[in-house]
Amino acid sequence: MFEFLLCSMLTILPDYLFRRYVQGKRFGHEITLYSVWFELRYGITACLMLTLTLITLVFYFHPSTKNVTSVFRTVTILPETGGRVAEVYVQRHQMVEAGAPLFKLDSTEQEAAIELARRQIAEVEAETTVAQTELAAADGLIQQAQGAFLQAQDQLETQTELMRRNPNVVAPREIERLQVAADGRRGAVDAATANKRTLETKIASLLPSQKASAEAALKQAQVELDKTTVRAGFSGTLQQFTLRVGEVVNPMLRPAGIMVPSEAGRVALIAGFGQIEAQVLKVGMIAEATCVGKPFTIIPMVVTEVQAVIAGGQLRASDQLIDLSQLAAPGTITVYLEPLYPGGLEGLPPGSSCIANAYTNSHDELEAPGTSTLRGIYLHVVDTVGLVHAMILRMQALMLPVQTLVLGGH
């Protein structure tokens, strides 16, 4: 109707003025309700054609849609492990900051694992102390074995020298006995030395490895204990949080509630435009929106992303063939709109339904040196008729509360 009134001022009104003041025909005499078509046929025809042209230009180059929503994502509150609730620190609808504890599961098993790991560490440390004492004792055993070996070696050398000087003084059997005794003392020295090396290896490698393993087990047990305290990963508001002490929660079957992030639905609007505007919608286009949750307000927006595919045509592999008649409903082009100025979506409840317009801007093409005069006039007309859609959006912003509250029956 608005476009028709605008076009009639350029067609029907001049036609009427020409016939009234140039041809001298008067309304009510030569121009009556019965002769309006014949007398104003040129103006009416031109008005209808111009109206259709204007509507086409406006809705194609400056697309509009009512499929606009401030979509937001909720996050399910789930523990990393299942268990019985021991403590609850928050309440439903409470605003929590990132890192704040929400609830705690029973941690008896995890605390027992920590205590066991600590005992293992203490046991390894005690064993290290004992090994160091044994190492000192091993030094004494080595000295004792070396002394016995030297004594046996001296006796063997003495008897061997006596036998060399006088074979009848020392029996060969005695020499053999002393040789065996000296070899045994040498073996005792080697055994004591090997025992010391074993203790040194145990102190330097085995016991530190056992202690490191026990410390790793302690850290793992501490991690498992920390998992029993569920914390908020981000700032947000708790919704449907009815958890009570004694309930059992499970990460697969029994969530604890839902959290709505603080910035949810306050970053951008998601709009679905018709497929015919696929060649018009571009990143950087200026847009405007009015929402039911924030009436009588025009929110300046900018197009930040245009989805390259249409969701209605997606296909997933299954055990049945897809009939194309199931995809007959045309999908929309998903467009992301962000506020042109900071705080543009403040006060708008997440999930609100909106109406949005996007406006084509031909400034770059108009400034290009190769643009012809006729092309420039056409682009100026295209940019100018965007004012019509902007006025329509403001009329919709005024009528939206009336339609919702009065005509909608709410």
Give the confidence band of 168 by pLDDT, cuts at 50, 70, 90: low
Tokens of 351: 């999930």
Q: How far apart are CA 196 and CA 227, in angstroms?
A: 45
**C-alpha distances in Å from residue 320, one per residue of 117, 151, 325:** 55, 96, 14
Q: Say which residue, 405 or 215, is predicted with more confidence.
A: 215
Give every CB contact of residue 361 below 8 A, 6+ residues apart in sequence.
285, 286, 383
Per-residue model confidence (pLDDT) at position 178: 65
**pLDDT of 260 strictly over 70:** yes
Amino acid at 365: E
Tokens of 210: 């056992």
Domains and CATH numbers, the chain: 62-72+265-407 (2.40.30.170), 75-103+229-261 (2.40.50.100), 108-214 (1.10.287)
Fill in the amino acid letter for 325.
Answer: S
pLDDT of residue 163: 66
Contacting residues for 103 by C-beta, under 8 A, at least 6 apart: 85, 87, 88, 89, 90, 229, 230, 243, 256
Rounded Cα–Cα distance for residues 227 and 321 (Å) = 45
Q: Are 156 and 168 in contact (CB under 8 A)?
A: no
pLDDT > 70: percent of the chain: 87
Residue 371: Cβ-neighbour burial (10 angstroms; 0-12, 13-18, 19+) = middle
pLDDT digits (tens, 9 = 90+) for 181-209: 766 767 776 777 777 777 777 778 888 88
**What is the per-residue pLDDT for 171?**
65
**CA separation for the pair 330, 324 (Å, rounded):** 12
Lowest model confidence (mean pLDDT) among 148-152, 276-280, 381-385: 148-152
Q: Is the pLDDT of residue 116 over 80?
A: yes
Start-to-end CA distance of the chain, whole Å, equals: 27
410 pLDDT above the threshold of 70: no
Q: Are 248 and 79 in contact (CB under 8 A)?
A: no
**pLDDT of 220 above 60:** yes
How is residue 125 written in tokens?
Answer: 């440390």
Nearest in space to 354 (alpha carbons), one of 397, 387, 320: 397
Q: Quick one: pLDDT at residue 7?
A: 67
Q: What is the four-CA torsion angle of 307, 309, 315, 317, rounded to 10 degrees?
A: -70
Give the bridge partners for 69, in sequence order. 270, 353
Residues contacting residue 6 through CB under 8 Å, at least 6 positions apart: 54, 388
Pair 287, 337: CB distance under 8 Å: yes
Least Cα distance to 237 among 209, 257, 207 occurs for 257
Query: Does the pLDDT of residue 19 top 80, yes or no?
Result: no
Band the pLDDT of 146: cuts 50, 70, 90.
confident
Tens-digit pLDDT profile for residues 350-396: 888 899 999 988 888 888 888 888 888 888 888 888 888 888 888 88
Q: What is the mean pLDDT of the chain?
A: 81
Predicted local distance difference test score (pLDDT) of residue 337: 92
Q: Rounded mean pLDDT of 100-128?
A: 88
pLDDT band at 270 (very low <50, low <70, confident <90, very high): very high
From the CA atom positions of the chain, what is the Rg in Å? Answer: 47
Residues contacting residue 348 through CB under 8 Å, at least 6 positions apart: 70, 265, 266, 291, 293, 294, 299
Residue 55: CB atoms within 10 A of its CB come to 16
